[in-house]
Amino acid sequence: MLITTSELINKEYEIIGLVRGSEMKAVHLGKDIVAGIRHLIGGEVKEYADLLKEARDEAVEEMIAEAEEQGADAVIGFRFATSTISSGTAEIVAYGTAVKFIIN
């Protein structure tokens, strides 16, 4: 599956529609405490970085699955959006426009 942040140039395609994937993740209480300590002393907060990477990967996989279910060949205009619901939780949304290539 082709995923791109831009429109496709010189390609003919039919727009299928919006596809998205969403993941909500929470940090385990023990990791949240360790992250809080790291926040105080400085440096990378690996517990949160790992959480966000996992959530992004899963949101993209969910978006791709939705696009494939609709018969798409690619997702164009791909973007991420994030929001924090509470301390230690984050929602990641992956979205874009599903398209099917037209072969002449």
CATH of domain 2-101: 3.30.110.70
Per-residue pLDDT band at 88 (split at 50, 70, 90): low
pTM (2 decimals)? 0.78
Hey, what amino acid is at 43?
A: G
Per-residue pLDDT band at 36 (split at 50, 70, 90): low
The edge-to-edge listing of strands for the beta sheet with 2-3 is 2-3, 74-83, 89-101, 13-26
- The string over 1-32, giving b where at least 16 C-beta atoms fall within 10 Å of a residue's C-beta and e elsewhere, is eeeeeeeeeeeebeebeebbbebebebeeebb
